[in-house]
Amino acid sequence: MSYVNTIRMFVRVYELGSMSAAARDQRTSPAVASARISDLEKHLGVRLFSRTTRSLQPTENGRIFYDGARRVLEAIDEAEAAVMDVTQNPRGTIFIAAPLGIGRRLIAPRVPAFKDLYPQIDVRLRLSDRGIDVVTEGIDVAFHLGLLEDSTLKVRTIADCPRLLCAAPAYIARRGMPADGAALVQDRHDCLNLRYPGAKEFQWTLLTPEGPRRFEISGPFESDDGDVLTGWALDGRGIVLKPLFEVADHLRSGALVPVATATPPLPVQLSTLSQHRRLKDPKVQLFTEWMTHQIREDLRHAMAAL
């Protein structure tokens, strides 16, 4: 399997554009990655990459070899999947990505149970509220909350998640209860903002009697971590827009209360994203279907308890 592993390393170096990034992706060291690429170049008798101290660029031979190498790996993966008994002996490693809130509340708590059921499958879970490139980062399944741009990825809808605006009773006592989105703007309420890379302004789309409308909101706090915003809301620092499942416990305890209920946020879609070829892998299919069922049950219980 050493030559196949070398080809895998070459493909990841090509896709990631970095020897060290490919080494991390393949769970090895940059020295091992560099040695494998050098051995491959010696075997082929051509240079696959042009190296400088600051960049790594594929040569024309590298681009040609990548197209063929990728097809070879896809064929090997499909062949292995075809002979693997997915229900009795699934094995291997799957790489999963999710936003922080979903990952911490819906996915991470379930991973140990999945591992108990399928002990030969290892799960690598990456949580981040920043955008993740499924292809270049080698992700098998990414969980996504929100609207999707046009994508070449395979999208599977899990559920529509209700959302709401909420704040701590201490904030309401200090600033008053806003009835709707217009009051948020007119009374200059402190809105806790989720900052994504490249965001230009903050807008909340709320459902008014006339239909969906965007409200430009502002506030003294922002973060790229949704759980940080929840913490600030619990501390009475402002109003936060959240999926219901993320704040259900706080609503039940009274630590947070709904606000601006006359103009609620639109629901948001929870989906899985995968490369089409990755979905042919039995262990990826198994994890996706199992976790989808668990998440739907968790969301159903969260709604029923309120």
Same domain membership, residue 129 and residue 9: no
Same domain membership, residue 239 and residue 151: no
Same domain membership, residue 282 and residue 146: yes
Q: Find the domain containing 225 and state its range.
A: 163-266
pLDDT grade for 81, boundaries at 50, 70 and 90:
low
- Predicted confidence (pLDDT) per residue in 98-135, tens digit: 988 889 889 999 999 999 999 989 999 988 877 777 87
**How many Å apart are CA 36 and CA 33, to the nearest integer?**
5
Same domain membership, residue 123 and residue 260: no
φ, ψ of residue 233 to 5 degrees: the values are -60, -45
- Predicted confidence (pLDDT) per residue in 151-210, tens digit: 677 888 899 889 999 999 999 999 999 999 999 999 999 999 887 654 545 789 999 999
Same domain membership, residue 199 and residue 224: yes
Q: What is the DSSP letter of 254?
A: T
Q: Comparing 6-20, 45-59, 226-240, 292-306, which segment has the lowest mean pLDDT?
A: 292-306
Pair 162, 243: CB distance under 8 Å: yes
Give the chain's domain count.
Answer: 3
- Of residues 137 and 32, which shows the higher confidence score? 32
Same domain membership, residue 129 and residue 188: no
Same domain membership, residue 234 and residue 251: yes
User: Domain containing 53 — which CATH number?
Assistant: 1.10.10.10
State both tokens at 31: 């020295």
Pair 104, 127: CB distance under 8 Å: yes
User: Domain containing 229 — which CATH number?
Assistant: 3.40.190.10
Same domain membership, residue 291 and residue 154: yes
Domain boundary among 83, 109, 127: 83
Same domain membership, residue 210 and residue 145: no
Same domain membership, residue 258 and residue 119: no
SS3 readout for 282-294: HHHHHHHHHHHHH
Same domain membership, residue 286 and residue 150: yes
State both tokens at 182: 């217009």
Most confident of 4-18, 20-34, 128-142, 175-189: 175-189
